[in-house]
Amino acid sequence: MNTIMRQVVNGGLISLLAVSLMACDKTPAVDENEEFAAILEVADDGTSTLLESSLKSVFIETNPLTEVELTILQNLKEEEKLARDVYAKLYEKWGSRVFANITKAENTHLNSVNYLLKYYGDADTLIAEPGVFSNPDFLSLYNELITKGSLSIEEAMSTGAMIEEMDISDINESLAELTNENIVMVFGNLARGSRNHLRAFNRQLTYLDVSYVPVFISESDYLQIVNSPVERGSLYRIYGTCIYN
């Protein structure tokens, strides 16, 4: 997360890392009696919702969180809240449906990270009111993004795209440090959701004839994402219905 804040100040580029989801093939064979659940629901417009109700059923037993993992979760909780709060404000300002839909989706992203914290017994699972952050860096960034996105509808859509590519970069950077399978599964789906939301903002920018230059990922990675189809969620074996090796 400190890397993200430095990038906001310095405007540097972070390469997009490949996401490798740990999921549906824990065992080589599929029993006809096994049950599966999805944790990512994707609408036709790309709005991607994390299904908190499915998480507990697909989580497996893991070691307790390390300090690194706990810090990553706490930071991403703030970042997902940042996205939700900024989009809500920009919806109030511009009334664009894309902000309304993605605000709702980002709330489920926030709740899924918070669910992980609850699942592993972290005490800090309260979600502050909109525009309030534990980390003062996020408050500064929130104010900067609201100011930028309030200048014009074009700047608002550019702000949305920048937030999503920032999320993609940060999630993938975190995945390189994670081994906890439950967190990896959730983060992989959060990355899918962010890529879908980036595609949605790119469609708006194209309609507005805005030439967007990515800030946190390379131009080639950006073009690869926005020129590829919306990503759907995987199915995961429900814990208890099969043997995990």
pLDDT above 60: residue 195: yes
In Å, how far from its chain's centre is CA 136?
21
pLDDT in tens, 93-146: 999 999 999 999 999 999 999 999 999 998 788 999 999 999 999 999 999 999
Amino acid 32: pLDDT: 57
Residue boundaries of the structural domains of the chain: 2-237
Q: What residues pair up with 41 in beta bridges, in sequence order?
A: 49
For the segment 168-187, the average pLDDT, to the nearest whole number, is 96
CATH of 2-237, one of 1.10.460.10, 3.30.565.10, 1.20.1260.10, 3.40.50.12780: 1.20.1260.10
Q: Phi and psi at residue 199, in whole multiples of 5°? A: -60, -40
pTM score of the predicted model: 0.84
Amino acid 123: pLDDT: 76
Q: What residues pair up with 236 in beta bridges, in sequence order?
A: 37
Asked if 71 and 126 count as a contact pair (C-beta separation under 8 A), the reply is: no
Q: Specify the residue for token string 């399978």.
A: 181
